[in-house]
Amino acid sequence: MDFTPLLPYDNNGNIDSELLAIAEKLCIKSAELVGSHSPQVLYGVRELLRKVNSYYSNQIESEGTHPIDIDKATRKEFSENSKEKQLQQLSLVHIEVQKYVESYFDKNDKTAFSKAFILDAHHQLYSHVDMSPFLKITDRQNQTTIEMIPGKLRERDVKVGQHIAPEVSELPSLFSKYELLYNLPDYATQAKKVIYALASHHRLMWIHPFLDGNGRTARLVIDGIFASIDLKGYGLWNISRGLSRHSQDYKKYLAIADMERQGDLDGRGALSSRGFKAYIKFMLEIALDQVDFMSQSLKMNTLHSKIETYVRLSQEGIIGNKPLPKYSELLFKELLVVGEVARGKVGDIIYKKERTARNLIKELIELDYIESDTPKSAIRLKFNAHFASYIFPELIPQM
């Protein structure tokens, strides 16, 4: 079996110009997100987006747990229901591994398209002690249970929907070809690098290297690829939300790109060039939609208004959480604008004495609305999931 073409080439052997134009637009708009707020506010958004990414990536596999429940899990507040607790643990591990793949290339000379990186991502995800329930795979045909080994290529042939995955004996040579062909040149434009990333995502899914966990691993790998090419703004949006919202189309376009070449006018590879282009265009449009969504969501006047409303509703006891203390609105608005504030300056912001300021800081930290690196360092906003479900209602569904 063969997964060529490598990229969505036109009839002249060049990357399709329409796709390059969309990718260029994506790169520009994504980079613009970096200038939308102070580094401290954007840090809080990135931390929130990791929970969101975990939620939506797992939801694609029909196993998502709400970000509010993920927040509870970070505080060791697990559900008494064993299945729900497993999903909370899965989300925490997913977040941990996302951080791992994002920083992988800071201290590793492997490429993002290397077999070693892909195996490592799967191993990091499934070797965690809390992932043991997800290692047992049911073989419905033989009515047996198979134990999956984290980070190890599958040792049996599989069929995924209509796609008959490559035979086990072909996996080593396919990975060698994958590593060789996706050896991304340093001089490639950012737009081309994005297309490489999206193209390789399908080809990795097509290879289907593992007994289970291929989708989650492939989406973590694409997070790692975007980090390795330094796609500015990625992390302030993520592709999993868009793919989850259009999960049926995601699966449809993956299947379209699986098609064998449809005659002499359908490229030169073993698989359909037209199908591959349709898949890449879908992925680019999903990514661009997510960038546009976050661009609107992060507008200063929008956030200012929603924070004001949230504090008012909280203090009126309408939204079901512990009411926020007096003066919270003044501090939140200041932190939204300037990013971080020295503790000693809080009294000036709320027009009250130091003792009142200290009590406000203490209570808001305990309630998980602000944070700092040390007990004495400057404070910044923290977008806990309940807060975020009102501030970014289309990002996190309200429970």
| Model confidence at 268: pLDDT above 90 | no
Mean pLDDT along residues 187-212: 96
* 57-102 pLDDT tens trace: 999 998 878 999 999 999 999 999 999 999 999 999 999 999 999 9
Query: Residues 6 or more apart from 11 whose CB is under 8 A from it?
Result: none
- Binning pLDDT at 50, 70 and 90, where does residue 171 land? very high
Give me the torsion for CA of 117, 123, 125, 127, rounded to 10°.
-160
pLDDT of the residue at 77: 94
CB contact at 8 A, 310 and 291: no
* 75-86 pLDDT tens trace: 999 999 999 999
Domains and CATH numbers, the chain: 17-294 (1.10.3290.10), 300-391 (1.10.10.10)
Strands 136-139 and 144-147 come out as antiparallel
- Binning pLDDT at 50, 70 and 90, where does residue 141 land? low
- Binning pLDDT at 50, 70 and 90, where does residue 138 land? confident
DSSP-derived secondary structure for 142-210: TTEEEEPPTT---SS--EETTEEPPPGGGHHHHHHHHHHHT---TTS-HHHHHHHHHHHHHHHHHH--S
| Residues β-bridged to residue 164 | 159
Residue in this structure with the two tokens 């063969």, named with its chain if needed: 2
pLDDT of the residue at 110: 77
Distance, in Å, from the CA atom of 243 to the CA atom of 219, rounded to the nearest integer, reads 10
pLDDT of the residue at 350: 96
- Binning pLDDT at 50, 70 and 90, where does residue 266 land? confident
Instruction: Give the torsion sign (CA, 333, 339, 343, 344).
Output: negative
pLDDT of the residue at 108: 76
- Binning pLDDT at 50, 70 and 90, where does residue 235 land? very high
* 9-49 pLDDT tens trace: 887 888 999 999 999 999 999 999 999 999 999 999 999 99
CB contact at 8 A, 381 and 40: yes
Distances (CA, A) of 153 to 157, 164, 175, 214, 225: 11, 16, 11, 11, 21
CB contact at 8 A, 181 and 111: no
